[in-house]
Amino acid sequence: MPAGEPGVAGRFDVATPLDGSDPHRMVFVFHAGAACAFLPRELARLHAIGLGLEEEEALAPWGIDAATDGLYAHRVTPREAMWLAADNLNALFWGLHDWTHFHNHGPFEQRAWTELQCDASALAWLWMNREEVGLEPTVWDRLHAQATALSRRRFEDEGLPGAFGVLEAARVRELARAC
């Protein structure tokens, strides 16, 4: 579906490919009254179209790093501040990936390794919650293969040997079971 077009009302789109492009129709919506005035904000409905959002505010899409720093500095957990709105699988994957960044403040020096842990967390969450999300195991497998390919490319770009055992499907499912 082209960027910015509303999804089919009430239907979660699992067909969106994970190709590394920016996710569309995904936003972190602030809870009413959450103590997070330090975070950059925009109207949620500008970024998550057709999800019934009205006057709710959300983290500005360019503010992911600011949120990772700000939440840590103010000792606010992501869950206290916001919830994730997404109407398609690509958006949900990247939202979960970013959510993991929010929980892991620190120097962003080993990019490929940091991103790998975020990917593993997102895949594990999606496996755990596949029934709620309406994700067939075959769709999860496809997503897993796409995420692994992206991860492999990051390691190649950094000239690092990949250690994709961490991201093997069986290991990710094991991680999900351990939660």
Work out the burial of residue 172: count CB atoms within 10 Å of its CB; fewer than 13 is exposed, 13-18 middle, 19 or more buried.
buried
Q: How far apart are CA 115 and CA 134, in angstroms?
A: 25
Q: Nearest distance from residue 162's CB to Zn ion, in Å?
A: 16
Stretch that binds Zn ion, among 6-14, 72-80, 110-118, 125-133 (CB under 5 A): 110-118
Stretch that binds Zn ion, among 8-16, 45-53, 108-116, 142-150 (CB under 5 A): 108-116
Q: Which is nearer to Zn ion, 58 or 118 (CB)?
A: 118
Stretch that binds Zn ion, among 8-16, 29-37, 80-88, 113-121 (CB under 5 A): 113-121
Q: Which is nearer to Zn ion, 48 or 64 (CB)?
A: 64
Give the number of residues in contact with Zn ion, rule: CB under 5 A. Answer: 2
Q: Nearest distance from residue 163's CB to Zn ion, in Å?
A: 18
Residues that bind Zn ion (CB under 5 A): 115, 118
